[in-house]
Amino acid sequence: MKAATFRRDRRIRFSDCDPAGIVFYPQYFVMDNGLVEDWFNDALGVDYAALVTQRRIGLPTVRLEVDFRAVSRFADLVTLSLRLLRLTRRSITLQLDCTGDNGGVRMAMRQVLVATSLQTHAAVEIPADVRTAIERDWPAAPALD
């Protein structure tokens, strides 16, 4: 089965950094939010903005586990990568890493997203087109629930 890692390079901006001159850690989550958008649009072929604004389906985060192993500095070129860990009826678990240009991992995150109705904020099933696109190309551990 084919490898399934989605990657985007990103230059660290002045606006990403704090008075210590390194990435202010909440900014990693802003970057990764953009990576998930790109994964939907460019890899899954699902229009993420239409999902949110027209179909009114959200994908809020319900669980994060993050290790910060090395700092990123202003102007560093980093690579953000995404792999699927698990897909259930209502949730998507992703591994999101940030690596430096020498390949060293700076940030490693396991993130659980759930599909929700943006009317009620209650969990809903992952839409069929999203599920189909993920299952087609993104092998993971089998769904358990």
The C-alpha atoms of residue 29 and residue 63 are separated, in whole angstroms, by: 13
Which of 4, 108 has the CB closer to a copy of itself? 108
Residue 85 binds a copy of itself (CB under 8 A):
no
Site string for a copy of itself, 55-84 (x = CB under 8 A): ---x-xxxxxxxxxx-x-xxx---------
**What is the widest separation between alpha-carbon atoms in the chain?**
45
Query: Are 94 and 85 spatial neighbours (Cβ–Cβ below 8 Å)?
Result: yes
**Ranges assigned E (strand) in the chain:** 6-11, 57-58, 61-68, 77-87, 91-99, 105-114, 116-117
* Paired tokens of 65: 């586990």
Closest CB 131 distance from a copy of itself, rounded Å: 21
Contact stretch for a copy of itself (CB under 8 A) within 32-40, 77-85, 89-97, 131-139 = 32-40
- Name the phi and psi angles at 19, rounded to 5: -60, -15
Closest CA to 78 of 7, 6, 10, 5: 10
Of 3, 19, 103, 142, the residue at the interface with a copy of itself (CB under 8 A) is: 19
Of 7, 43, 47, 140, the residue at the interface with a copy of itself (CB under 8 A) is: 47
Contacting residues toward a copy of itself, per CB under 8 A: 13-15, 17-22, 24-27, 29-30, 33-34, 37, 47-50, 52-53, 58, 60-69, 71, 73-75, 118, 121
